[in-house]
Chains A and B, each alone.
Chain A
Amino acid sequence: MATSASTLRWLAACGSVVLAAAVRAEPLQSVLAPAGPQAAHLKDLWDVMLLVCTGVFVAVLVAVGIALWRAPRADSSQRASLPQELGPQRGARRSVLSAVVASTLLLLFLIVASVFTDRALARLSLHDALHIEVTANQWWWEARYDDAQASRMFNTANELHIPTGRPVVLTLRSNDVIHSFWVPALHGKKDLIPGRTSTLRLQADQAGTYRGQCAEFCGYQHTTMALLVMAEPPAQYEAWADHQRATAALSQEPQAARGRHIFMTTTCVMCHSIQGTDASARRGPDLTHVAQRQTLAAGALPNTPENLERWIRNPQHIKPGANMPPSDLPTDDLKALVAYLGSLQ
């Protein structure tokens, strides 16, 4: 019994290795490379399912193969047998019955495995959990880090930082249509449904950057609605969070100062907010520390000054359908604006 269990485990491990090799470990967004307890439970369940299902698949094919191999050949003109000539067919009856019983037992086993995984997921301790409210918009993510003290709350967009080894509770809402939050390395997905609130509990054990993207078709730019989760050691996370709580840097460099003036006097200010300035609109992502982010427009581009300029010039070229209008600023002004945004560390 013990041997068979270990053999099973060994087979499961082999199956996963073969599959992982086929999938060529790209840890960024893979179900098979869990980085936290929730995703690890799901990966374990996957291993069990894969093993059982592969066994059943092979058994059925072998049975069909044997049937085809042993049954005699005939042609269409040959007279067909009739029920009375075939007799009671006890052997077939026994085989079919045992196959049905075996399938039923295996299915029951899988139901139990599934329910136990569900329970394991629910057991994640919420002691000292970090609370983040994630609100989905067409086509970007808004995040508000909760705190008992209102002054310590802060907003960011499209990139979450979380401490390793500490549970995180995400409160999920949507401002427009249905989206789905999915970072496969950390947990399965959860829909963000307008008019409803749902929660997702996860934890990262290994530090790293994990990619996710919207998993429910949400319209024109469903494709370009990625988010990054940076799991960092607690001290590093706290440093980041403290920095986020600070208002925007006020650069004295003349180009950036001019850019700031342009931001506040053109259409930018009608949608975006920058803490510590007059810009406080909520239509688009919060830009208080935009220069720290790795990507622009929910994963559309790496965050470089050239890309930022291209993006502001004509977002429709890069992310057709996005809700940000093209800009007709003169090139000088645009460069100043980019310099200002680049100063928002």
Chain B
Amino acid sequence: MNAGSEAVRRNSVPPTAADAQALEATWRDPPGAMGWLSAVNHKAIGKRFILTAFGFFVAGGFLALLMRLQLARPENKLIGPDLYNQLFTMHGTTMMFLFAVPVMQAVSVYLVPLMIGSRSVAFPRMNAFAYWIYLFGGLMLYVAFVLNIGPDAGWFSYVPLAGPEYSPGKRVDFWAQLVTFTELSGLLEAVILIVTVFKLRAPGMTLNRIPLFVWGMLVTAFMVIFAMPSVMLASTALIMDRLVGTHFYNPGEGGDAVLWQHLFWFFGHPEVYFIFIPGLGFMSSIIPTFSRRPIYGYTAMVLALIATGFLAFGLWVHHMFATNLPEMGKSFFTAASMLIAIPSAVQIFCWIATLWTGKLVFKTPLLFVLAFFVILVLGGLTGVMLASVPLDLQVHDTYFVVAHLHYVLIGGAVFPLFGAIYYWYPKITGRLMSERLGRWNFWLFFIGFNGAFFPMHLLGLQGMPRRVYTYPGDMGWSTMNAIASVGALMIGVSVLIFIVNVVRSRRSGELAGSDPWGGGTLEWSTASPPSACNFEAIPVVHGAYPVWEPRREPTHVAGLAVNSREVLTTTVLDAEPDTRMPFPTPTIWPLVSALATTGLFVGSVFTPWAVVWVALPVAAAMTAWFWPKRQDTNASVALERAP
């Protein structure tokens, strides 16, 4: 027996304790500080990703509280225009680029392999690289903000205000470069998710058995791939206008200021759906479990998600109704913007049907999900109003829109996300979160949210524009603003309670067991927290809710190596076993590559030559990353079999 045939030793049916131990040793990230920096396990990266995104959520929320403090009274002198403009730019940029989109990808990096019965995400090293890039981009933005060079031209950075003439200095350059960082990370994650969902599903998980959350992330990932290049193009052109004197957006030299708006919103509107569709996925995961039945209308739900993904690309002009684009064209976008309500309505009605015909378990995750029906539905209806060209001309760029977008994004994504954290926290940590604190968290958030944002509808109708750092006392806006500020404070308190709950339950929460809620999808069939390899034996799937289905043969896959990182790939449509693939081992090089790339991006803010010179360390780090190791090659060769 040589070393190779030792690696060929395969796990039997069912896996023995020795196999489980060997798998754990194979898939574990190495110990120590160096091991921590080299980690590639999707659960380690996923947890860091989620925590980082929540860190940015808290930071962005803190900036919002400062704004509400300033606006609590008319003609307040607390914060001047310079800081206020940075605050709302940082708040929007943080929430859109550093929290809402990444946190959804982060949760799915953790959950998707567990839900589809896989040992890993595809391209685990790329996953680590995407996390580091995201982290460094966010840190760059906040370091700039602390040094008083935070961006101040809005999260949308309209030119020419964000151009070289009206925003001199480095502020907007950091914004444009942040976009480069987060888009790089987002695009990589999208590729990872698509390949994971298409190729790494457990055998038997045909397309019509994929959990709806996974469907949602798949649709989102495709949307990311089509939308994000648009904003990368836009921000690259902006940074070239600013740094090397091109004139993409300069009307004086034949450029066009409205070009920016088209490119930005061609990304910006689908971006809302990158945030909202995963939220729908959380809804579709939580509702069946707490209704003790499968989702009503699975096929309709999937088609609705896909329809949303397509329609979302036909709406961008509704952010530009006040420009002088042709009226006829604008009417088209009114119709498209209203019609996207239909797929959302289909899903809402299917959830109501599920609840209606189910047996309900009232736990905190369900509460957060029920809030969706109040908040998102209201936000969706104000969205229908905003879709109308003439009505939009009145409420566009007022507090009415601020109210609308927070109802949609917080109601459609953040409430389901909080529900999702309560729901999957026991899977991630092995312990349940406190129900009592959960209820405090929920009610304070729900009441505070409505207190903060409902009055903003009225403020907008009364004529209060967005992005003003103060307002005169005789406009009749003072009372509503004061109420909104109190509501914002309540949200702050509820988030504090949430943090306390997360931290306390980590140590002293009730032990969860593998399936505390009686869930039906695959992640509930493995230990909490899952072992390094996720599943000691890859399950074979016989239905959309495998855990609820009666046991059927074969129950799981046999024949995968336990001493070597081997993953089963399956076919795209029917998830039939396809190949056994060796997977990469932990390594420090994704981190080093990310550091070098960060040097390139940040350096290019100061000199275009950074692109040339820092490309050398980037190339070197990438080369080291992909350099084949003899040990790995030998293991792969030993596992190969002639057909």
CA distance A45 to B451 in the complex (A): 27
- Looking at A140-148, A149-157, A187-195, the stretch in contact with chain B turns out to be A187-195
B559 interface residue (CB < 8 Å to A)? no
CA distance A100 to B350 in the complex (A): 10
Q: How far apart are A14's CB and chain B's nearest CB, in angstroms?
A: 17
A312 interface residue (CB < 8 Å to B)? no
- Scan residues 384-411 of chain B and give those whose CB is less than 8 A from a CB of chain A: 384-385, 387-398
In the complex, what residues of B have CB within 8 A of residue A333's CB? none
Of A74, A96, A191, the contact of B350 (CB 8 Å cutoff): A96
Of B293, B393, B516, the contact of A188 (CB 8 Å cutoff): B393
Is the beta-carbon distance between A196 and B324 smaller than 8 angstroms?
yes
Is the beta-carbon distance between A188 and B357 smaller than 8 angstroms?
no
A66 interface residue (CB < 8 Å to B)? yes
Known contacts A83-B294, A114-B388; A178 and B158 CB within 8 A of each other: yes
- Looking at B35-43, B469-477, B564-572, the stretch in contact with chain A turns out to be B469-477
B48 interface residue (CB < 8 Å to A)? no
CA distance A147 to B626 in the complex (A): 73
Is the beta-carbon distance between B161 and A217 smaller than 8 angstroms?
yes
- Scan residues 335-389 of chain B and give those whose CB is less than 8 A from a CB of chain A: 335, 338-339, 341-342, 345-346, 348-350, 352-353, 355-363, 370, 373-374, 377-378, 381-382, 384-385, 387-389
Is the beta-carbon distance between B471 and A89 smaller than 8 angstroms?
no
A129 interface residue (CB < 8 Å to B)? no
CA distance A107 to B468 in the complex (A): 33
CA distance A221 to B469 in the complex (A): 9
Chain A: which residue is nearest B390 at the CB level? A117
Is the beta-carbon distance between A184 and B384 smaller than 8 angstroms?
no
CA distance A118 to B360 in the complex (A): 47
Chain B: which residue is nearest A54 at the CB level? B381
- Looking at A26-34, A246-254, A281-289, the stretch in contact with chain B turns out to be A26-34
In the complex, what residues of A have CB within 8 A of residue B391's CB? 42, 45-46, 49, 114, 117, 188
- Chain B 142-155 interface 0/1 with A at a Cβ cutoff of 8 Å (1 = within): 00000000000110
CA distance A66 to B288 in the complex (A): 18
Q: How far apart are B87's CB and chain A's nearest CB, in angstroms?
A: 13
Q: How far apart are A49's CB and chain B's nearest CB, in angstroms?
A: 5
Is the beta-carbon distance between A80 and B518 smaller than 8 angstroms?
yes
Of B153, B370, B381, the contact of A68 (CB 8 Å cutoff): B370
CA distance A71 to B366 in the complex (A): 14
Is the beta-carbon distance between B390 and A41 smaller than 8 angstroms?
yes
Known contacts A71-B357, A114-B388, A196-B258; A76 and B335 CB within 8 A of each other: no
Of A56, A83, A180, A212, the contact of B381 (CB 8 Å cutoff): A56
Is the beta-carbon distance between A30 and B251 smaller than 8 angstroms?
no
Q: How far apart are A15's CB and chain B's nearest CB, in angstroms?
A: 12
How many chain B residues touch the partner (CB < 8 A)?
96
- Scan residues 102-145 of chain A and give those whose CB is less than 8 A from a CB of chain B: 103-104, 107, 110-111, 113-115, 117-118, 121-122, 138
In the complex, what residues of B have CB within 8 A of residue A30's CB? 461-463
- What range describes how many residues of A lie at the interface? 35 or more
B264 interface residue (CB < 8 Å to A)? no
In the complex, what residues of B have CB within 8 A of residue A180's CB? 322, 397
Q: How far apart are B355's CB and chain A's nearest CB, in angstroms?
A: 4
Q: How far apart are B53's CB and chain A's nearest CB, in angstroms?
A: 27
Is the beta-carbon distance between B545 and A80 smaller than 8 angstroms?
yes
- Chain B 417-431 interface 0/1 with A at a Cβ cutoff of 8 Å (1 = within): 000000000000000
- Looking at A16-24, A237-245, A264-272, A334-342, the stretch in contact with chain B turns out to be A16-24
CA distance A111 to B341 in the complex (A): 12
- Interface of B with A (CB < 8 Å)? 80-82, 85, 153-154, 158, 160-161, 166, 251-252, 256-258, 288-289, 291-294, 296-297, 300, 322-324, 327, 331, 334-335, 338-339, 341-342, 345-346, 348-350, 352-353, 355-363, 370, 373-374, 377-378, 381-382, 384-385, 387-398, 458, 460-463, 465-472, 475-476, 516-518, 520, 543-545, 548-549
Could you name 19 residue pairs across A and B whose Cβ atoms are closer than 8 Å? Answer: A39-B394, A41-B390, A49-B388, A53-B384, A72-B359, A74-B292, A82-B543, A82-B545, A96-B296, A96-B353, A100-B345, A110-B388, A115-B334, A184-B394, A188-B396, A191-B324, A217-B467, A219-B166, A223-B471
